[in-house]
Structure 1
Amino acid sequence: MAVETFRLSLGPLLFNWPVDTFRDFYFRIADEADIDIVYLGEVVCAKRRPFHLVHYEEIIHRLRSAGKQVILSGLQLVMDGKDMASVEETLTLAEEYLIEANDMSTISLLKDRPHALGPSINIYNPETLAHFEHGGATRTSLNAELPKSTLAALATTAKGDLEVQVFGRAPLAISARCFHARANHLTKSGCRYVCENDPDGLTLDTLDGQAFLAINGLQTLSYKYISLLDELPVLMQMGIRDFRLSPHTGNMAQVANIFRARAAEWISGEKACALLDELLPDVQFSNGFFHGQPGHTQRGAIE
């Protein structure tokens, strides 16, 4: 049996869930999920933040009481003074919590102080990683589109912890425009928070009717969910031992259990994939980015 030298993390919730659902989700993660680190914070749309903020204190208390580290995540796109004020409010907690910076304005405010980098900070080579680590980054969650050759190169020079997303829809882009509002013939300022109607994102089809992408307010995501269950041993051989699960509807506590069992080598990759398919029968998975292939493709088990 392998010694557990890895950590599982739960990334920030990307979607706009009802307030009670949001609170109860994190309570369940605290009580039931075998997860080491939980990222908490609104990263997509600042308009959503006030609704969930009311429960942050009790959620953090519940998570920390369960022995989980809490990292506070900031916005991916800071567009005005109001957005900047929300970032600065989060940064007032930097002495007590590690802050995940998801845009350059946040990084500038955290310079020379320990902080984490989110996957929206594009790091494609060791020199860029060294630059950010020199500025205080102690933990870096890498872009979901990076192939294993790039991940391996970064792992050889990293001074801090490297994290890779191993489950969930890949965040691909962020925009100042709200796609959800436009899809519902609304304006961004009068969006009526319609993104709440699609708790895992709204599927976009190609002209010939094939599911292609998903939209989530200002954000574009992959349609298929990343699953790197088979690739966990390879990542650990590289020296990467922090694995991020992105929250979705469904039993995330059980998803975490499957990934932990596979990373600890308690079960085979084949068994783990079968369990995940059984748990989420309506979800399509992909691992193409990792293998340097189109992101929507699925490559078979690594021998």
Structure 2
Amino acid sequence: MRLTLGPVLFNWDAGAWRDFYFRMADEAPVDTVVVGEIVCSKRLPFFLDHMPSVIDRLTAAGKTVLLGSLVLVSLPRERRQMADLVEAEHLVEVNDLSCMPALAGRRHAIGPFVNVYNEATAAFLAGRGAERICLPPELPLASVRAIATALPDTVFEVFAFGKVPLAISARCYHARVHGLSKDNCRFICEQDPDGLPVSTLDGDGFLTVNGVQTLSHTCANLLGDAPALADAGVRSLRLSPQHCDMVEVARTFRDVLDGRSEAEAGSEALATLYPAVPFANGFLHGIPGASRVAGARAGGA
């Protein structure tokens, strides 16, 4: 089982963003790293100058680099950005199917934002050049197994750690909360490097807002489900960057996957690394996504 580091979803300071990837390159036991702005194209200019050095550092460290596309492409400049992305030398991870015509059968990856819900869809995408597919995080294990076993030559990946991406919108919730418009947002989302918590009227944690994106309140943790996922044909687990020590998160996953630590001890370590955020794995077990099945295997899901 390999580990993939997903793209940073949040609006981090450009210097912090660069240093984060430098440290992941030098210290984290991950095999593949996805870089690029996939949530809001307005954020891209802030760290664009750092992209070459980040990619070089990751490549020199032996990591496979994927370039993530936007999740929602809606403007002419965004279409131009995606066209330029396709021309880059590294593999593109597609998060919006509007990128597909420009790829024209070239090798690429599919991100978790594309609705791959069955074997036919996966086979169609693989036939168009998709070598690896990160399945949507809401799939139960039975669906994961059916898709992955139907295409054994394709690398399938599952979202295994981080606040789960649930929706994307043309509206910016962050701006609206602060009485601003999307066009004049003042990049207010930078005030919440781990997203803006949303509570119910009763004060219970409900969702997380990240600009135009909606994420879960809970943090996915499939560490204890890794054996069942491997048995289902999954070959990589995705770790989504959160505002915590992601190097240690990656090391914790690697230690459990390699048998140097038990899953329960690993989850306890993760809770220390990312405190005050409840873990969940309900989607994989076919129950509400915010639920947690502790110490269980998803084999019967």
Alignment TM-score > 0.5, same fold: yes
1:19 and 2:28 equivalent? no
State the shift of 1:281 in Å. 2.2
What CA distance in whole angstroms lies between the structure 1 residues aligned with 2:16 and 2:275?
22
Match of 1:219 among 173, 191, 213: 213
- 1:210-260 Cα offsets, whole Å, 9 max, x none, are 110001011000010000010001111112121100001111000000001
**TM-score with structure 2 setting the length:** 0.97
Match of 1:189 among 180, 183, 194: 183
What CA distance in whole angstroms lies between the structure 2 residues aligned with 1:80 and 1:282?
38
What CA distance in whole angstroms lies between the structure 2 residues aligned with 1:279 and 1:191?
32
SS in 2 for 1:75: coil
The residue identity in structure 2 corresponding to 1:171 is P
State the shift of 1:156 in Å. 1.1
Partner of 1:28: 23
Q: Spell out the pairing of 1:68-107 with structure 2 (5 A cutoff).
A: 68-93=63-88, 96-107=89-100
What CA distance in whole angstroms lies between the structure 2 residues aligned with 1:15 and 1:268?
31
SS in 2 for 1:50: helix
1:254 and 2:254 equivalent? no
Match of 1:245 among 239, 245, 253: 239
Match of 1:147 among 130, 134, 140: 140
What CA distance in whole angstroms lies between the structure 1 residues aligned with 2:222 and 2:100?
29
The residue identity in structure 2 corresponding to 1:99 is V
The residue identity in structure 2 corresponding to 1:142 is L
State the shift of 1:50 in Å. 0.8
What CA distance in whole angstroms lies between the structure 1 residues aligned with 2:2 and 2:11?
26
What CA distance in whole angstroms lies between the structure 1 residues aligned with 2:73 and 2:14?
23
The residue identity in structure 2 corresponding to 1:227 is N
1:156 and 2:128 equivalent? no
What CA distance in whole angstroms lies between the structure 1 residues aligned with 2:257 and 2:63?
19
SS in 2 for 1:230: helix
Deviating beyond 4 angstroms after TM superposition, the runs of 4 or more aligned structure 1 residues are: none
State the shift of 1:278 in Å. 2.0
Partner of 2:4: 9
State the shift of 1:100 in Å. 0.4
**Where is the helix percentage greater, Structure 1 or Structure 2?**
2
SS in 2 for 1:271: helix
State the shift of 1:117 in Å. 0.5
State the shift of 1:276 in Å. 1.1
What CA distance in whole angstroms lies between the structure 2 residues aligned with 1:53 and 1:17?
13
SS in 1 for 2:223: coil
Partner of 2:36: 41
Match of 1:289 among 276, 283, 289: 283
Question: How much identity, in percent, do the aligned residues show?
Answer: 46
The question of whether the paired residues in 1 share the 8 Å contact of 2:217 and 2:277 is answered with: no
State the shift of 1:180 in Å. 0.4
SS in 2 for 1:67: coil
SS in 1 for 2:201: coil
Q: Spell out the pairing of 1:175-186 with structure 2 (5 A cutoff).
A: 175-186=169-180
State the shift of 1:268 in Å. 1.2
Query: CA RMSD, aligned part only?
Result: 0.9
Q: Spell out the pairing of 1:116-135 with structure 2 (5 A cutoff).
A: 116-135=109-128
The residue identity in structure 2 corresponding to 1:300 is A
1:67 and 2:57 equivalent? no
What CA distance in whole angstroms lies between the structure 2 residues aligned with 1:257 and 1:191?
37
Partner of 1:137: 130
State the shift of 1:108 in Å. 2.1
